[in-house]
Amino acid sequence: MSDEPTAAGEPVERDGLELTDGVVTLRPFEESDIAAHVDGEDDEARLWLGQPGPSTRDGMLDVVQRWRREWAAGERHTFAIHHDAVTVGTVAARPEGDQTISLSWLLYSGHRGHGFAARAARLLADFSLAELGARRVQAEVDPRNAASLRVATRAGLHREGVRRVVLGMADRPDATGMVILSRLATDTPTSEPEGFRALLNSFLPRKRAISQLLLRDRAGRVLICRLTYKNDWDLPGGVVEVGESPQLAATREVKEELGLDIEAGPLLLTDWLPPWGGWDDAVCLVFDGGEHDASLTDGIVKQAREIREAEFATPEQVHERCADFTSRRIGSALASLADGAHPAYVESGG
């Protein structure tokens, strides 16, 4: 290997190249690997490759020649994965512009479940960053391919999100999205605690949080708002920003939407909201906004982009104006406040 990395996409010497971690070894794919490929390619491999039929030896001879030409042009570097002198799969690096390289991999039937693909992908990611001039390596994985998603994360690639596609834009003709995972040259190694935590943080589930404020007047009515983007009414509040305290978010939202400086009090209710109407599921946190004089509404300055109306409403009016789950949530929050047992937990309002 050279002391200085080449630019991504520039040719790298093929003859004699070998990458190993002591368990798997990567060598440029040769004619001698074809038999293992033809024998090991099964329905699962063809499924995720979007390949309609099995490979043949003659067809693979043409493929290997194409891979050689692509290697010489710096367009693709295709390796055979070896374990104990047996060809168990392939892994490839394909430049995408000057500084990004895309990785792909395939394990043959009978060799899956041993961690070979993750080891091979990690080796090739290291090589791409150190020797192929990449500043970023990435993989695009069908979200239904759980095994390949595990390979990518075990190889140290962080989950970035899902690239939506129209049918026919991905390897599989029925794919509607591809998960994008990547590793940067500046990423902290996953062997260090901070790097490992960052990797976990990239793919562990995240849930949307909504903070609301329960404001009452001295007659026991509840302040509700009619929103611009839906016909029913709701408690004042909104989505918690990334890294923001949910309690502070409730205070901020009421200030932004209604122009009221009211500090959120204790948590009264946690309400889990199932997926609905195009929204993912979420957790709604209702905080105590205190009791106020009815004249509080005189000081409201509505954010016209989101709020049409805001007023104190009786329980009967809440039931009439709010969606059923919102009405249940308000009732549950009031019950939690009355019995002093807060915070309570409900689902879809209670």
Residue 14, domain member (yes or no): no
Where a domain ends, among 170, 203, 236? 203
277, 342: one domain: yes
What is the token pair recorded at 164? 């939506």
| Domain assignment present for 1 | no
Rounded average pLDDT over 201-224: 95
Residues 109 and 160 in one domain: yes
User: Are 193 and 224 within one domain?
Assistant: no
Same domain, 145 and 257: no
Residue 3 lies in a domain: no
Residues 195 and 225 both lie in one domain: no
Domain end point (choices 203, 224, 241)? 203
Supply the pLDDT for residue 173. Answer: 72
Sign of CA dihedral 180, 186, 192, 198: negative
CB 254 within 8 A of CB 237: yes
**CA-based nearest residue to 232, from 270, 271, 277:** 277
Q: What pLDDT does residue 1 have? A: 41
Average pLDDT over residues 276-297: 94
8 belongs to a structural domain: no
Residue 8 has pLDDT above 70, yes or no: no
Would you say residue 43 lies in a domain? yes
User: Using 50, 70 and 90 to split pLDDT, how confident is the model at 291?
Assistant: very high
Mean pLDDT score, 105-116: 96
203, 226, 259 - which closes a domain: 203
What are 347's strand-pairing partners? 272
For the chain, how many structural domains are there in total?
2
As a whole number, the mean pLDDT across the chain is: 92
In order, the DSSP letters of 184-202 are: ETTSPPTTSHHHHHHHHHH
Pick the residue with more confidence: 255 or 280?
Answer: 255
pLDDT in tens, 112-131: 999 999 999 999 999 999 99
pLDDT band at 10 (very low <50, low <70, confident <90, very high): low
* pLDDT, average across residues 12-32: 95
Q: Is residue 9 part of a domain?
A: no
Residues above pLDDT 90, as percent of the chain: 80
CATH code (residue 274): 3.90.79.10
Residues 265 and 172 in one domain: no
Domain holding 107, by residue range, is 19-203
Contacts of 170 (CB under 8 A, 6+ apart): 50, 140, 142, 178
What residue has token string 């995972």? 181
269 domain-assigned: yes
**H runs (alpha helix) in the chain:** 34-40, 43-49, 57-73, 116-131, 146-154, 193-203, 246-258, 315-321, 324-339
On whether both 28 and 157 belong to a single domain, the answer is yes
Q: Name the residue among 39, 46, 9, 12 with its Cα closest to residue 28.
A: 12
Whether 190 is covered by a domain: the verdict is: yes
Residues 243 and 341 in one domain: yes
Cβ-based neighbour number of residue 1 at 10 Å: 11
Residue 57 sits at the vertex; the CA angle it makes with 51 and 61, to the nearest 5 degrees, is 90
CATH of the domain at 25: 3.40.630.30
